[in-house]
Structure 1
């Protein structure tokens, strides 16, 4: 869902967008203060502080859709030699395209009340749209008074709510109304769950017993358009578009009146800090369309209401009275909700109840208490495990038996200490822990390891980048290790090729002195990890030698991909929900649960992901990658002066409030500076309907996290008719509004109190502001009387807001003379509720109290696999066995390692095995395949391939004969670059200049034409330049990317053809001559900055 910001987007497509955007902002502000901002860099801060909003009456586009427009252009041409001038005129007719019968995907940001939920009858349903211009993109009323044109505008959208009996068509009506429709409308016709019917405009026009405003919208051009249509009873439609006099009697005009709906749409510009959905941007601008009908007032049981966002375009062109029983309106969005009887649960009650459910993520206390009450050792142990957040799960062993195991996800109710083991795992089996008291295996970390491997296998881009990164580390580390081992043997052991050839006769007798240089060699093993870490840290740097921190350019694009993927997993992105919450009872409805993040579980997840590509058993390359990742976490981005933020705590909020207000604003206490030094929330998402996840890096209850505040978002507030509403009266509190500065407003001690006295109207009160029913004593309409309601609000504010002393002159707090939709929206807002929860000293969170620890990886020792042959031996016997250079290494503190290929002494093979060894069984011939070897010193990304040629237009060669200047086409194609990660900064074509020479062929003697120009690929500029080298002159044609950064990803380039205008090609005497031209590509990769190639230009002399 795109969020309109009114400017440059700050969204980052990452689950860590909150921390990355915060770091980018802090770094930008520091650069700005130090004067280090580049020419293409800018730092933009929201004009609104967190929690603030700006309300506008409307945002109208420059041109409305619907009418036809024309552009007239007049050009006068004068010449110095003639007195007369030439006048040219042109006209272009056009129309503006905008949604009409359906809305684009993502147009609806939210609705209230949410679909399927319940709400009080006072509440007016509303729709929040992501496009602030959408309600005014079409003309709602062509007769808007000019004096209101700059303050209000009638939208083409309106929200109507209907009870089921108002829209439900009988079976007889459905059968008779759609008899003349086409076969595109499926028969028998059925209404949807919101009582709409989907059909084309052509079928709508063929429907009988109804009228529609669509017939006034040039239906000949929109016959094939399809939409949802509702059929409103003509009597109800008349009431919705009529005026009411002072005695609340309906006054039916000659045509429908849409002017009251100018007060029911407005625009809200908000700061999105602390919001789960809109928080992807710093600023969000939304349009809001309100309904004007309250829910049923006298229902004794919950009543279902259908809400429709309808188009009222063309309504004013209709005529009253309506001659048919129904009016068809186009419904652009619809949903249903339930209107509760009076005095049932509401938002403040739900918030208050939620604050009493604060706890940690574990099974309910009743379950644990029942186990402890049994007073036996096994039950007590299981209760202890459940208290630590474990669940009992079905487990199948490697041999296939079904059993039970203990499992706990990464979210724990207690702080888990680090494990004593620190080595990597090759299978995850060694991460299982046996609970000896109950004989049940704990598979938590083993499951995390397997999940990490599975997630990595499912991400093709990450797997490919990891393989290339591993190859780069292994190739470079082996080369450096071999050089060090050879140099350790003797200072002059590293010899040149000439010295080696001189000593060939005596070399054979000294071959046994060459140290082992294989990966399994003890000498290599001692230093390989050190060299691998050095190379991994080099790849994890940026070209300027600093560490790559996701805010600068990387040395290796593969490291960039791997780092992003690993950090996303440390934020638990992509982890399935049943791994996070092992039992639904841990998170009950209407509950708030805190947790700590088990770093051991995250370590196992990362270790499993990085285990891909391990073909050696021992895996120091994995440990080297982890060392580089730890450097990134410990150092953090430059200019940020803090470690990289990694989540260690968090909470789940499961409540209907999350569904009602998806952007429920979360704020941590105490309030920090703006911008804060650290991002308050590291991850904030709605992971499923009604469940919010927040991750933090601070301990709940600590000095920097004393509490939480949940607040209704500014653009998802409730709108209500009044403070009190029933069948007998409406009670309205006029809220204070100000047109003065905030500093002056804060001086008013009564700013949060409503104006007195309250306004109370009964159904028979004269000049009412609410219409109960079409007849006295009924409540079938329940609509706002506009503009009467807005005028009463304005009058009350003008008379009762009072003044303040501005020097010696009393000045009004409120000074305005026009009722607007923005002012009316502030009045219709229901009170904004917030829930503040104190965390300090809360006994429910004592299990989470722990000193902060670094969130770096701890499984840093390479995995150990016993070699198939003892150290220092060879797979083939030697006629002159030599003693090993040193004794075999002793086992480390993890104990001896036994080979996986040995069997116990008492092993006897079974009959099913011996059966395959009988003399009558033919052996299966197999062919030994050579193992793939890592050769070369290729970088993680390969060079692309360039194909170049020079031709005359329409030919496949350069044709000469008359030796006249001609246009030369340089065709340059790029291939084998789909997966290349190089970034091209320049591509040069080098042409040697000179006269015709039988030995040195040159394309041209000189060039003085108008220059080159690009053909199709306008991503480049081509610039000519003369170059002098060694007495020769060259024409250098430089292709430069048209980019602010000066570079372009080569995988985005397919061709770079250009034309060299009016070039005089040398006329060679032979019929065919080949001229060699050189090319040079320049890249940002410091290890491989250039790529040089050449090609031949085929010159054909047509006269020879």
Structure 2
């Protein structure tokens, strides 16, 4: 059937669109980067430019009306201009900014232009002072006042032979273009995706050539809208242009430092290899003035430590060793589990050779806790998670213990026995079943204790098991059997928050930068320093972060199980992946002007003998401060998986330059090979990076190879220093050279702004660094250790467990009751039942291992205490006691153990170390005496021949004041006249002396005391009693001395 065309109608319609574009100010966030950066230095060949996030912004407004649709280059409304500061100073301006811009309203600018004595004109307003498009006169903008001679040069048509009457803006069509770049490996631009589209506006002017010292230049991104309608030359001395963005930089004299030298400087090797993050010992040695650095101090500095001011718990200021998580040597993490910490102080390590405390891991623990407390979301989530686990585990513990004794039945057991229960109920009315008579019900029956304390071994054993099961239940995914790994669905949203927060800390996110670099000398200017991440430091950081939100005094079980699940996450391979989650183990810090000039500096890591970069090696790349770049790897440098590192300039943050070298007499240009053929065909061409031609162009025209083309660069014109590109002659020269040399490989018929942009690109320099296997040294050469965090090791119970309340009842009487409910909310204090430091000796008795890294007591010379009057308590008088209250002592003394705080008449030897309290309380007399020192002395060493000693060795943490911290206590050893060792506890005020009326209690605690072994004691002489001597020294008074005997229960 034929189509009926008579019914067809042609519809014609149109609609206007209004495109709103900025005019007097750029929108916030429009500028991605500028080059050179604010306040930095650059060479004279560099052409400043700005990178805009909006790829269409330079062409958002129309500058020239007669636009040819076939024209491939459109004139932008933005232009980049640079000036010396003296060129923009305007005498009539009341105030100019740092970049010599003046803030005015459009109305004020119109009044200035139309004033009778006006010396300026402007394209921003009309000649009568009115605004374009009815813009409000109250709009404010920044303006610069350009001198007439410079303005005329910048808007002159160099190709026009006849007289020019209007300003020409056609040259600026070559100075703006759009770029689509790959942003992989960039710290800033790579955030939003793998590709980015940016617009670039370039300046036509280079730096001045007549300077002999660094000179400040100002750069302005100006609007050239309506400039094409202005008369040429400018009718007045100044032309006012609207400035949309401005900054300043310093131009260096010719032949100064450049990017090439910066790359070479940071890539240099020291002693055949790249340097690591530590102090420069050569510079440190210069400060010693010829003195030799002690070996131990040198070793500490080589290991990355630095000395810092440290205040002890008792208030004294001293020095301590400290280092951050980034270390210069490989620290072996090992497989041995270490202890959880309650406060972080037990993570301090005493350097026995220098006598200085190492507080590195204690600082990490405290930082982890501080970061956790500062994050309300994390702390709240961890608190809810702990509470959920604790409640569920407590309920299950109750059920399991009571069910074992037959006093609890679950729902299933109750239903199963319901029939039997009904039979029992029917027999209750039968009085013959009462075997004990009617009154027997009122008689009390025997029962055991109702207590079921949390710290008992039975409850703790069940509680630990249920905590482990409940923690595992809450941390697995709701969608599969894997631990929640950020790819599956979490069962507990609180665990999702906690795990994410801990993983960020493993990446050292949120850690202040001064922890990375404990001393500025570690990372000097223009330096590259590699490091290894100390896994013990990460372990301590995480332990401190998990220590918050505890609901029980001994909440170690929940913390331990949470760590085990974190370890399980780190070790499991998610479904569909053949490797476990990545975590950093190595990295480098780069401090250089390159990081400021190129905030998106590209970092590429290569496996050994591979030509393509492996993006999985780099796990963190961040500019942590201005001019400091932090990069972390998950592969060991120098291994087969990581053999090479390359730093290269980002393509959109490269500098633009007028040529390879700009001199007062010539401009040297390296013409690049710019292909128009497909990429696969370009790969077949040889020497693609070498220039196709190198020419020196002269001011009057021509080149060093006999060419007679016109000038392509303007050095000066009409006694005005221009030093600007001559357009379009420059871009036409590029087009001609490429057409002659590349032939079929370059098929463009017309030059474009993109062609000029590629040619003006500063050569894309890069630094290649070969990774040596010997970069990191270690005392434990374990080839199987790759340096990565395999898991958290702080899983054992604390080395210093909290004490439990004393109870003399046997263990079997502390559990279970039929006659009373269990109070599960009762407060308690308990020793950890299975301390990691506890072992059994040959006789089957358990004992605690001594704390590590403790200094031995120094043996000093001390005169023996002379006894003037014996105290009561001499065993020869038949009175043995610990109390001392006599006239010649101003303090009352007693000694007891925290293990038996109620027993103050003797000490009992136990199979573990005890903390002894030496109580000293002021008597009410002699308030005006001034105390200088109190010394408590007793025999030390092996008991022999009736000489009783309190302890035969001491390796505890020392003595501290219990209440009055205005005093210091120091333990020392000395020998008496019989060449026997005597242990002294000396109490002295920090102020040197103190009046007695200001004292109340001077008690001290001596921790970690193992009473002496009396297996060889001759008990025919009676039970041992230790002679304790006390001496009180006062100002301007005789010392008061006494002694008593402290009995021991062996």
Structure 1 segment 218-229 matched on structure 2, within 5 A: 218=132, 220-229=134-143
Structure 1 segment 533-552 matched on structure 2, within 5 A: 533-546=468-481, 547-552=483-488
Match of 2:320 in 1: 405
Match of 2:495 in 1: 559
Match of 1:739 in 2: 676
CA distance in 1, matches of 2:78, 2:476: 54
1:99-131, CA deviations, whole angstroms, 9 ceiling, x for partnerless residues?
Answer: 222222322211111221111111101111122
TM-score (norm 1): 0.67
Q: Structure 1 285/879 Cα, relative in aligned 2: closer, same or farther at 3 Å?
A: closer
Q: Does 1:594 align with 2:508?
A: no
Q: Pick from 349, 356, 361: which aligns with 1:440?
A: 356
Q: Does 1:907 align with 2:919?
A: yes
Q: State the shift of 1:818 in Å.
A: 1.7
For 1:279, what is the secondary structure of its paired residue?
Answer: helix
1:455-494, CA deviations, whole angstroms, 9 ceiling, x for partnerless residues?
Answer: 1111111111111111111112222232333344459765
Q: Does 1:483 align with 2:399?
A: yes
Q: Does 1:832 align with 2:764?
A: yes
Q: Pick from 53, 72, 75: which aligns with 1:154?
A: 75
Q: State the shift of 1:892 in Å.
A: 4.3
- Residues 162 and 306 in structure 1, CA contact (< 8 A), matched pair in contact too: yes
Q: State the shift of 1:757 in Å.
A: 6.0
- Residues 449 and 817 in structure 2, CA contact (< 8 A), matched pair in contact too: no
1:556-588, CA deviations, whole angstroms, 9 ceiling, x for partnerless residues?
Answer: 111111111111111111111111111000111
- Residues 266 and 822 in structure 1, CA contact (< 8 A), matched pair in contact too: yes
For 2:755, what is the secondary structure of its paired residue?
Answer: helix
Q: Does 1:893 align with 2:837?
A: yes
CA distance in 1, matches of 2:339, 2:211: 67
Structure 1 segment 778-927 matched on structure 2, within 5 A: 778=719, 780-802=721-743, 812-840=744-772, 851-852=785-786, 853-863=788-798, 864-870=801-807, 892-894=836-838, 896=848, 904-909=916-921
Match of 2:624 in 1: 687
Q: Does 1:285 align with 2:197?
A: yes
Q: State the shift of 1:373 in Å.
A: 10
For 2:354, what is the secondary structure of its paired residue?
Answer: coil
Match of 1:772 in 2: 715
Structure 1 segment 214-363 matched on structure 2, within 5 A: 214-216=124-126, 218=132, 220-245=134-159, 253-280=164-191, 281-356=193-268, 358-363=274-279
Match of 2:109 in 1: 204
Q: Calculate the aligned-residue CA RMSD, in Å.
A: 3.8
CA distance in 1, matches of 2:212, 2:540: 57
Match of 1:935 in 2: none
Q: Pick from 453, 456, 470: which aligns with 2:372?
A: 456
Structure 1 segment 1067-1082 matched on structure 2, within 5 A: none
CA distance in 2, matches of 1:537, 1:561: 16
Q: State the shift of 1:617 in Å.
A: 2.1
CA distance in 2, matches of 1:773, 1:847: 66
Q: State the shift of 1:891 in Å.
A: 5.0
Q: State the shift of 1:322 in Å.
A: 2.3
Structure 1 segment 476-515 matched on structure 2, within 5 A: 476-490=392-406, 494=410, 496=414, 512=447
Q: Pick from 394, 406, 409: which aligns with 2:309?
A: 394
Q: Structure 1 899/145 Cα, relative in aligned 2: closer, same or farther at 3 Å?
A: farther
Q: Does 1:122 align with 2:27?
A: no
Q: State the shift of 1:704 in Å.
A: 1.3
- Residues 806 and 900 in structure 2, CA contact (< 8 A), matched pair in contact too: no
TM-score (norm 2): 0.70
- Residues 638 and 772 in structure 2, CA contact (< 8 A), matched pair in contact too: yes
For 2:124, what is the secondary structure of its paired residue?
Answer: helix
Q: State the shift of 1:204 in Å.
A: 2.3
Instruction: Flag structure 2 segments of 5+ consecutive residues without an equivalent.
Output: 1-10, 113-117, 429-439, 703-708, 820-830, 839-846, 850-896, 902-914, 928-962, 964-1050
CA distance in 1, matches of 2:373, 2:380: 10
Q: State the shift of 1:360 in Å.
A: 0.7
Q: State the shift of 1:678 in Å.
A: 7.1
Q: State the shift of 1:352 in Å.
A: 0.8
Q: Structure 1 801/94 Cα, relative in aligned 2: closer, same or farther at 3 Å?
A: closer
CA distance in 2, matches of 1:372, 1:603: 37
Q: Structure 1 219/889 Cα, relative in aligned 2: closer, same or farther at 3 Å?
A: closer
- Residues 361 and 412 in structure 1, CA contact (< 8 A), matched pair in contact too: yes
For 1:154, what is the secondary structure of its paired residue?
Answer: coil
For 2:110, what is the secondary structure of its paired residue?
Answer: helix
Q: Which moved more, 1:449-458 or 1:161-170?
A: 161-170
Structure 1 segment 618-1017 matched on structure 2, within 5 A: 618-619=554-555, 620-670=557-607, 679-756=616-693, 758=695, 760-763=697-700, 765=702, 767-775=710-718, 778=719, 780-802=721-743, 812-840=744-772, 851-852=785-786, 853-863=788-798, 864-870=801-807, 892-894=836-838, 896=848, 904-909=916-921
CA distance in 2, matches of 1:575, 1:688: 13
CA distance in 2, matches of 1:551, 1:294: 53
Q: Structure 1 511/893 Cα, relative in aligned 2: closer, same or farther at 3 Å?
A: farther
Q: State the shift of 1:261 in Å.
A: 0.9
Q: Structure 1 782/374 Cα, relative in aligned 2: closer, same or farther at 3 Å?
A: closer
Q: Structure 1 199/623 Cα, relative in aligned 2: closer, same or farther at 3 Å?
A: farther
CA distance in 1, matches of 2:771, 2:924: 65
For 1:231, what is the secondary structure of its paired residue?
Answer: strand
Q: Does 1:606 align with 2:542?
A: yes
CA distance in 1, matches of 2:662, 2:465: 76
CA distance in 1, matches of 2:526, 2:66: 50
CA distance in 2, matches of 1:913, 1:521: 47
CA distance in 1, matches of 2:17, 2:624: 45
Q: Pick from 32, 57, 62: which aligns with 1:139?
A: 62
Q: Structure 1 368/792 Cα, relative in aligned 2: closer, same or farther at 3 Å?
A: closer
Q: Which moved more, 1:132-141 or 1:846-855?
A: 846-855
1:755-799, CA deviations, whole angstroms, 9 ceiling, x for partnerless residues?
Answer: 236352333556211111113xx5611111111211221122222
Q: Structure 1 756/339 Cα, relative in aligned 2: closer, same or farther at 3 Å?
A: same
Q: State the shift of 1:880 in Å.
A: 11
Q: State the shift of 1:741 in Å.
A: 1.7
- Residues 277 and 662 in structure 1, CA contact (< 8 A), matched pair in contact too: yes
Q: State the shift of 1:202 in Å.
A: 2.5
- Residues 233 and 327 in structure 1, CA contact (< 8 A), matched pair in contact too: yes
Q: State the shift of 1:677 in Å.
A: 7.9
Q: Structure 1 914/204 Cα, relative in aligned 2: closer, same or farther at 3 Å?
A: farther
- Residues 397 and 462 in structure 2, CA contact (< 8 A), matched pair in contact too: yes
- Residues 275 and 530 in structure 2, CA contact (< 8 A), matched pair in contact too: yes
Q: State the shift of 1:254 in Å.
A: 2.5
CA distance in 2, matches of 1:285, 1:912: 86
CA distance in 2, matches of 1:105, 1:244: 37
CA distance in 2, matches of 1:857, 1:227: 58
CA distance in 1, matches of 2:900, 2:215: 72
Q: Does 1:194 align with 2:104?
A: no
Q: Structure 1 492/463 Cα, relative in aligned 2: closer, same or farther at 3 Å?
A: closer
CA distance in 1, matches of 2:563, 2:441: 46
Instruction: Flag structure 1 segments of 5+ consecutive residues without an equivalent.
Output: 1-87, 175-188, 803-811, 917-1104
CA distance in 2, matches of 1:639, 1:781: 63
